[in-house]
Chain A
Amino acid sequence: MSRELLVSHLVGRVVRDADGRKVGRIEELLARIELHEHGNDYVVAEFHVGAYGLLEALTGGVFAQKLVQRFGGLVGYRRFRIPWEWMDLSDPVHPRLNHARADLESRADE
Chain B
Amino acid sequence: MSSASPRAIPADLLPCSDHAMKKWVEIALGIITGIGGFLEVGSIATSAQAGSEFRYQLTWALALGVISLAFLMEMTGRLAAVSKRTYVDLLREHFGMRFFLVALIAVFVVSFMVLTAEIDGVSTALQMATGIAFQWWAIPVAVVGWLLLWRGTFGIVEQGTAMLGLVAISFAVGAVKAHPDWGALGGAFVPSRPTENPARYWYLAVSILGASISPYLYLFYSAGAVEDGWDREYLSVNRVTAGLGNLFGGTLALAVIGTAALVFAPAHVHIDKFEQIGSLFVSPLGRAGFWLFVATLCVTCFGATLEIALSIAYLIAQGFGWEWSEDLRPGRDSRFSVTYTISIVVAAIPAALGISALSLTNMSMVLSAASLPFTVIPLIALMNDGKVMGRHCNGWISNIALICISVLSIVLFFVSLPLQIKGGG
Contact = CB atoms under 8 A, between A and B. Distances in A.
Interface of A: 61-63, 66-67, 69-70
A66 B384 contact: no
> Residue among A62, A66, A67, A69 with the most chain B CB within 10 A?
A66
A62 B384 CA distance: 17
Contacts of A70: 380-381, 384-385
A67 B381 contact: yes
Contacts of A66: 94-95, 378, 381
Contacts of B98: 61-62
B99 A62 contact: yes
Contacts of B96: 62
Interface of B: 94-96, 98-99, 377-378, 380-381, 384-385
Contacts of A69: 381
5 contacts: A62-B98, A63-B95, A66-B95, A67-B380, A67-B381
B97 to A, nearest CB: 9
A61 B380 CA distance: 16
A67 B384 CA distance: 10
A67 B378 CA distance: 8
A92 B377 CA distance: 33
Contacts of B384: 70
Contacts of B378: 63, 66
> Residue among A61, A63, A67, A70 with the most chain B CB within 10 A?
A63
A102 B96 CA distance: 32
A96 to B, nearest CB: 25
Given A61-B99, A67-B377, A70-B384, 17 more contacts: A61-B98, A62-B96, A62-B98, A62-B99, A63-B95, A63-B99, A63-B378, A66-B94, A66-B95, A66-B378, A66-B381, A67-B380, A67-B381, A69-B381, A70-B380, A70-B381, A70-B385
Contacts of B381: 66-67, 69-70
Nearest to B102: A63
Contact of A62 (B95, B377, B380): B95
Nearest to B99: A63
Nearest to A11: B96
Contacts of B94: 66
A8 B95 CA distance: 13
Nearest to A62: B96
A52 B99 CA distance: 20
> Residue among B96, B98, B377, B385 with the most chain A CB within 10 A?
B96
A70 B381 CA distance: 6
A64 to B, nearest CB: 10
B88 to A, nearest CB: 15
Nearest to A63: B99
B214 to A, nearest CB: 22
A8 B303 CA distance: 42
Contacts of A63: 95, 99, 378
A12 B378 CA distance: 20
A86 B36 CA distance: 61
A99 B420 CA distance: 58
A88 to B, nearest CB: 26
Nearest to B103: A63
A24 B369 CA distance: 37
Contacts of B99: 61-63
B400 to A, nearest CB: 15
Contacts of A61: 98-99
Nearest to B384: A70
A70 to B, nearest CB: 5
Contacts of A67: 377, 380-381
A66 B94 CA distance: 8
A61 B377 CA distance: 14
Nearest to B385: A70
A66 B387 CA distance: 13
A21 to B, nearest CB: 28
B107 to A, nearest CB: 15
A63 B373 CA distance: 12
B151 to A, nearest CB: 40
Q: 8 shortest A-B CB distances, which residue pairs?
A: A66-B381, A62-B96, A63-B99, A70-B384, A70-B381, A63-B95, A67-B381, A62-B95
A62 B381 CA distance: 12
A30 to B, nearest CB: 14
A61 B98 CA distance: 9
B89 to A, nearest CB: 15
A62 B378 CA distance: 11
A61 B94 CA distance: 12
A67 B403 CA distance: 12
Contacts of A62: 95-96, 98-99
A59 to B, nearest CB: 13
A71 to B, nearest CB: 9
A23 B161 CA distance: 57
A66 B110 CA distance: 25
